[in-house]
Amino acid sequence: MIKEILALIASAEHTLHRDIAKEMGISTETLEDILKLLLRKGFLESPDCTPSERSSCVHCPSAESCASLDDVGTVYYITPKGLRHAGLN
């Protein structure tokens, strides 16, 4: 399941928690627990930014994708370690 979640995030086709959870057949709460685990294991990273800090997101790898959104939520991107684990590199 971990590899599949990483692949969905990498595909950028599923960007909302509810969409990923639905695709995986799990609750959003379960997905959030898994995402926290992936962050702790170093498979994902999440830039520390909020909508009010967007002007300081110039160097963020996700800046282009979230800059136009009014409600960013949590943005994740896969680390090289996560790509290796998912077999996506």
Beta bridge partners of 41: none
Per-10-residue mean pLDDT, the chain, length 89: 90 76 93 94 80 54 49 73 89
The pTM (predicted TM-score) of the whole model is 0.71
The count of other CB atoms within 10 Å of the CB of residue 15 is: 16
Q: DSSP code of 61?
A: T
**Residue 40 burial (CB count, 10 A):** 9
- Domain 2-86: top CATH class: mainly alpha
**Count of other CB atoms within 10 angstroms of residue 33:** 12
Contact (CB, 8 A) for 38 and 44: yes
- Asked whether 86 and 6 are in contact (CB, 8 A), the reply is yes
